[in-house]
């Protein structure tokens, strides 16, 4: 074990503070979500999911994630590969730009797209004239979700790829491997755990994003409400059971994410990120 | 295969890594590129391999100009200082890699591949560790696997970048003896980079002493030792004696 030793009192205080914090801010909310969702019995809980508007919101959330996550996986791989393996001008600018969605408030991100594609926006009128509706429609939701979840995969991959350097790829090259063979047989296996973890985080955010989606979706029930938006709508209708039932689904996703992360860490033999 | 380097220059920004370098490496010789860090020896090795490209000058194998060919097309075996073994593959799969990535037409059958890899494992005396992963091997074992992996593709020339640099003294001593013996057996044209004058004197047929991106002297170990061409060569080659004499 480690040789540093704080007094017992300090150690226990630190552990107690962490534990209390976890209970207050993680377990308690989760418990409230579950007890409220199940408070009126299982029948009512499952009945919440038969509401057509709720079903539409679940489908929309799944569709959004199904498009945004693969797109950002591809983008993240391309960006991390380019930044870690090649030298080019303005490289640090690109790294900063990738982080931009992290530093911009989601609401602002949503507004950017309204200003671009809205009825009075920069490109909106021309698109609407051709029958292409982006704002207050599904394409807008997908676009902002892609924007908001843009950095996750790239950010997870970059440190791993930079630490590994180019030697493995150069070795593969001298052994006669093509670029694609090198990528599939050497680069990808070397970063697979970081990639998987980035995809998990990206997916969690894609399904859970509220602010940016709220701005562009127009919150039309049964049409442009995603799960987080539907939860708020149900809550404001005093439909607590349904609101918390849908919330429990999202929370379940978070738990699955945690479990997968734990498995990933266990398989890769080291904590990821 | 013989290697011809003619008028090769290379800059990294303002830094002149190689300045009009010429060297002729006859078929079957074992050449050491010897010099201090920053002398351009690794850059020269990488340019011969096709991992870097010269700003000016030409490279030829057996008289055939290959200056613009990529590393993939040159048929070189390259051994990296830090081995660069594929960490997610076993020793066996590491050695087999170059055979498995061949185009379908020239790819050996599984049985032939196993036989070939088996022979190489025997050559590096690691038959019983074929199923291990690189992280489970010692430094010396890893370097032998890296060498076997490079030899598996039957390269025209073997290039080694500080092959013993990351090893402790005893393993280094054994491994360079072993490399010399291997070369005497296979006669593959080989170039290795080192900053250790003892290593160069002991292992190489020919030593090229480099400094500031130029080759100061090319000759047999005896020549270079007995008749250093420049004060730099003298001080570098006899560094140890000079140091001990004080």
- Whether A167 and B80 lie within 8 Å, measured CB to CB: yes
Can you read off the two tokens belonging to residue A115? 């200003």
Average pLDDT over residues A235-255: 86
Residue A117's closest CA among A94, A144, A80?
A144
Does the CB of A50 have a partner CB in chain B at under 8 Å?
A: no
Give mean pLDDT, residues A219-245. 87
What lies within 8 Å, CB to CB, of B82 at 6+ separation is: A167, B166
Query: Is B102 in CB contact (< 8 Å) with chain A?
Result: yes
Better-predicted residue by pLDDT, A250 or B205: B205
Read off the tokens for B159: 């290039």
Which candidate from B49, B80, B102 shows the least CB-CB separation from A176? Answer: B102
B80 touches chain A (CB under 8 A): yes
C-alpha closest to that of A143 among A116, A105, A103: A116
Q: How would DSSP label each residue in B38-68?
A: TSSHHHHHHHHHTSS--SEEEEEETTEE-TT
Cα Rg for chain B, rounded, in angstroms?
18
Query: DSSP E strands: which ranges in chain B?
Result: 3-12, 15-25, 30-34, 56-61, 64-65, 76-79, 157-161, 189-194, 206-211, 214-219
Contact B78 A170 (CB under 8 A): yes
From chain B, the residues in CB contact with A176 under 8 A are 72, 75, 98, 101-102, 153
Pick the CATH number of A43-268 from 1.20.1080.10, 2.40.50.180, 1.10.3720.10, 3.40.640.10: 1.10.3720.10
Burial class of residue B144 in the structure, from the number of CB atoms within 10 Å of its CB (0-12 exposed, 13-18 middle, 19+ buried): buried
The residues, any chain, with a CB within 8 Å of residue A71's CB and separated by 6 or more, are A146
Would you say residue B180 has pLDDT above 50?
Answer: yes
> What does the pLDDT read at residue A273?
42
Tell me the average pLDDT across B205-232: 92
Nearest-angstrom CA–CA distance, A142 and A151: 15
Max CA separation in chain A (angstroms)? 72
pLDDT per residue as tens digits for the range A29-83: 888 888 888 888 888 888 888 888 888 998 999 999 999 999 999 999 999 988 8
Residue B244 has a pLDDT of 67
Nearest to A171 by CA among B85, B74, B107, B67: B85
Largest separation between any pair of C-alpha atoms in chain B? 63
**Residue B49 touches chain A, beta carbons under 8 Å:** yes
Residue A258 or B48, more confident = B48
> In this structure, what token pair is assigned to residue B178?
């072993």
Kindly report the pTM of this predicted structure: 0.79
Predicted local confidence at residue B150, as pLDDT:
93
| DSSP codes joined into one string, B3-26 | EEEEEEEEEETTEEEEEEEEEEE-
- ipTM for the predicted complex comes to 0.88
Q: Dihedrals φ, ψ of B14, to 5°? A: -90, -10
pLDDT at A127: 82
Contact A102, A151 (CB under 8 A): yes
Between residues 190 and 209 of chain A, which touch chain B (CB distance below 8 Å)? Answer: 190
Q: Please say if the pLDDT value at position B245 is more than 70.
A: no
Q: 3-state DSSP helix/strand/coil percent for chain B, to nearest 5?
A: 45, 25, 35
* Percentage of chain A exceeding pLDDT 70: 96
Residues of A within 8 A of B50 (CB-CB) are 174
* pLDDT, averaged across chain A: 86
DSSP string computed for A206-265: HHH--HHHHHHHTT-TTTT--HHHHHHHHHHTT-HHHHHHHHHHHHHHHHHHHHHHHHHH
List pLDDT tens digits, range A132-152. Answer: 788 888 888 999 999 999 899
What's the rounded Cα separation, in Å, for the pair B66 and B48? 9
Which pLDDT belongs to residue B164?
85
Q: Given this model, what pLDDT does residue B157 score?
A: 93
Q: Give the single-character DSSP code of A175.
A: T
Q: Which long-range contacts (CB under 8 A, 24 or more apart) does B177-186 make?
A: B178/B144, B179/B147, B179/B203, B180/B30, B182/B123, B182/B147, B183/B30, B186/B151
Give the per-residue pLDDT at A271.
47
Q: Say how far apart CA A45 and CA A61 lie, in whole Å.
A: 20
């Amino acid at each position: 074990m480690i040789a540093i030793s704080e007094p017992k009192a300090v150690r226990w205080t630190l552990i107690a503070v962490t534990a209390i914090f976890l209970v207050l801010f993680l377990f308690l909310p989760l418990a409230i979500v579950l007890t409220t969702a199940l408070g009126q019995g299982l029948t009512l809980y499952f009945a919440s999911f038969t509401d057509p508007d709720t079903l539409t919101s679940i489908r929309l959330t799944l569709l959004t994630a199904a498009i945004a996550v693969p797109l950002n996986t591809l983008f993240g791989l391309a960006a991390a590969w380019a930044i870690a393996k090649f030298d080019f001008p303005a490289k640090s600018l690109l790294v900063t730009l990738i982080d931009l969605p992290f530093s911009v408030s989601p609401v602002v991100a949503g507004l950017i797209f309204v200003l671009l594609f809205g009825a009075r926006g920069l490109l909106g009128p021309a698109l609407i004239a051709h029958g292409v509706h982006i704002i207050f429609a599904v394409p807008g939701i997908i676009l902002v979700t892609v924007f908001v979840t843009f950095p996750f995969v790239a950010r997870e991959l970059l440190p791993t790829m930079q630490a590994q350097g180019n030697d493995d790829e150069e070795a593969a090259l001298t052994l006669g491997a093509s670029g694609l063979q090198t990528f599939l047989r050497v680069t990808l296996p070397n970063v697979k755990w970081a990639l998987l973890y980035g995809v998990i985080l990206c997916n969690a955010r894609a399904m859970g994003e509220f602010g940016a989606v709220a701005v562009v979706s127009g919150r039309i029930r049964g049409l442009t409400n995603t799960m987080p938006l539907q939860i708020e709508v149900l809550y404001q209708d005093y439909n607590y059971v349904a609101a918390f039932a849908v919330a429990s689904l999202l929370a379940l996703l978070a738990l699955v994410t945690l479990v997968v992360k734990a498995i990933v860490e266990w398989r890769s033999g080291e904590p990821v990120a | 295969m013989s290697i011809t380097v003619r008028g090769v220059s290379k800059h990294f920004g303002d830094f002149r890594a190689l300045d009009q370098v010429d060297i002729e490496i006859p078929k079957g010789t074992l050449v050491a590129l010897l010099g201090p860090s920053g002398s351009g020896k690794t850059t020269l090795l990488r340019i011969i391999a096709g991992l870097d490209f010269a700003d000016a000058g030409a490279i030829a194998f057996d008289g055939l100009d290959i200056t613009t060919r990529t590393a993939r097309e040159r048929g070189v075996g390259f051994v990296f200082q830090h081995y660069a073994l594929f960490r997610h593959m076993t020793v066996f799969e590491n050695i087999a890699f170059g055979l498995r990535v061949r185009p379908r037409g020239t790819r050996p059958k599984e049985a032939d591949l196993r036989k070939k890899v088996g022979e190489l494992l025997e050559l590096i005396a690691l038959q019983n560790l074929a199923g291990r992963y690189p992280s489970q091997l010692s430094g010396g074992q890893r370097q032998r696997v890296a060498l076997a992996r490079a030899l598996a593709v039957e390269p025209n020339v073997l290039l080694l970048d500080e092959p013993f640099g990351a090893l402790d003294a005893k393993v280094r001593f054994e491994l360079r003896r072993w490399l010399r013996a291997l070369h005497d057996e296979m006669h593959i044209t080989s170039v290795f980079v080192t900053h250790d004058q003892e290593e160069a004197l002991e292992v190489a047929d020919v030593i090229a002493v480099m400094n500031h991106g130029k080759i100061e002297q090319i000759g047999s170990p005896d020549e270079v030792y007995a008749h250093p061409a420049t004060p730099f060569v003298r001080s570098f080659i006899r560094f140890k004696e000079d140091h001990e004499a004080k």
